[in-house]
Chains A and B, each alone.
Chain A
């Protein structure tokens, strides 16, 4: 079947199998390998992207379900001149990553978290990132990065 959508501002039309997952479309068809396939069981959140502005797990959605939608991946965050998105910048400044595998999903989730809850408490940040698993950092610096973007002192 053929699916059409906008990915990072670019119109995309692609032949896929009905069972093709959005994560597979992004990675294997479009070469956008910044979206990571971690667990493939919708638990780890490494594959998180935005569909129509909302964070979703792209390994738990069919490409067909996203027909006509606007998809934003980690590759679409930085400016054309390479300027990092403030959340990417904060993860870098706060050392919010070690191996980096969870980072694309973590950043996409964190952006959606601040859309829903501007100025979140630490507890709200931890709750808001419940769907993303990091096995390196212990989350402390990730929380700090989100606090920094939301303009909170001490971050």
Chain B
């Protein structure tokens, strides 16, 4: 790891001031991806700005019917939260499937979203539930947030404060885990929301994406059979030593059907 300085921000203003002081600063959430990247020298920031000291970023509560989860809430807290389990059980289930228990005790919602790893779990939920990402300066719809591989709509000094999840009528997340890394080879989040069914996929493309033809079919008839014939173009899928593009395209269909079935039961 290259050397860097470390700043524990006392509030959001302080964090932003540090990010704008002309040095090359990076935000430290739970660090479960960032520290590994630093060890590999894939990044060389001058300073890490740790958000762990900002209590308002680590909250879970329901406001105006929506579930608000602070950016610095660890996955384990989301998974174990009675409020999340009651409002959106699929979200609690998803959080409990990320990495392993030790990773879940450190890794955070905001960190996962800001990183936008193509195989991360949370992007599928945020997109599948039509959530809103609230930053220190604006509200970003999930549909506008994920731009590409490790690329989001966030400005360099912009901080995620919380995510607002509207509880769906029902939802489910089915993930085909890579057995060693536990990342999603493919993961599909299906939700029946107030605005209609949503199908969001992670692990298969450069970033999480929705499958509009499946959503249309499900809006006519919310059943696994309704989407059986809808296959994604493998030209758009990731291909690596773990799975070919064709296999990932196949998995999206299989997992989407399983997710619809699970959402119904």
A65 in contact with B52 (CB, 8 Å):
yes
A56 in contact with B1 (CB, 8 Å):
no
Whole-angstrom distance between the alpha carbons of A68 and B4 in the complex?
A: 21
- A70 contacts the other chain (Cβ, under 8 Å)? no
| Chain B 1-60 interface residues, beta-carbon cutoff 8 Å to A | 1-6, 8, 28, 31-32, 35-36, 38-39, 48, 50, 52
Whole-angstrom distance between the alpha carbons of A17 and B6 in the complex?
A: 9
Report the minimum CB–CB distance from B76 to chain A (whole Å): 7
A41 in contact with B102 (CB, 8 Å):
no
> Across the interface, which residues of A come within 8 angstroms of B236, CB to CB?
none
A18 in contact with B6 (CB, 8 Å):
yes
Report the minimum CB–CB distance from B115 to chain A (whole Å): 15
> Across the interface, which residues of A come within 8 angstroms of B50, CB to CB?
64-65
A56 in contact with B102 (CB, 8 Å):
yes
Report the minimum CB–CB distance from B122 to chain A (whole Å): 18
A112 in contact with B101 (CB, 8 Å):
yes
> Across the interface, which residues of A come within 8 angstroms of B31, CB to CB?
60-62, 65
Q: Mark A114-155, 1 if CB is under 8 A from B, else 0.
A: 001000000000001011000000000000000000000000
Whole-angstrom distance between the alpha carbons of A122 and B32 in the complex?
A: 28
Q: Which of B6, B8, B35, B80 contacts A60 (CB 8 A)?
A: B35
Point out residues on A near B: beta carbons under 8 Å.
1, 17-19, 21, 40-43, 45, 48, 51, 54-57, 60-62, 64-65, 67, 109, 112-113, 116, 128, 130-131
Point out residues on B near A: beta carbons under 8 Å.
1-6, 8, 28, 31-32, 35-36, 38-39, 48, 50, 52, 76, 80, 99-103, 105-106, 180, 182
Beyond A19-B4, A61-B35, A116-B101, 12 additional contacts (C-beta under 8 Å) are A18-B48, A19-B38, A43-B180, A56-B102, A60-B106, A62-B48, A64-B6, A109-B101, A109-B102, A116-B80, A130-B100, A130-B182
Q: Please name 19 pairs of A and B residues whose Cβ atoms are closer than 8 Å in the assembled complex, sorted by A.
A: A18-B4, A19-B2, A19-B3, A21-B35, A40-B39, A45-B102, A51-B105, A54-B76, A55-B102, A56-B102, A61-B31, A62-B6, A62-B35, A65-B50, A116-B80, A130-B101, A130-B182, A131-B101, A131-B102
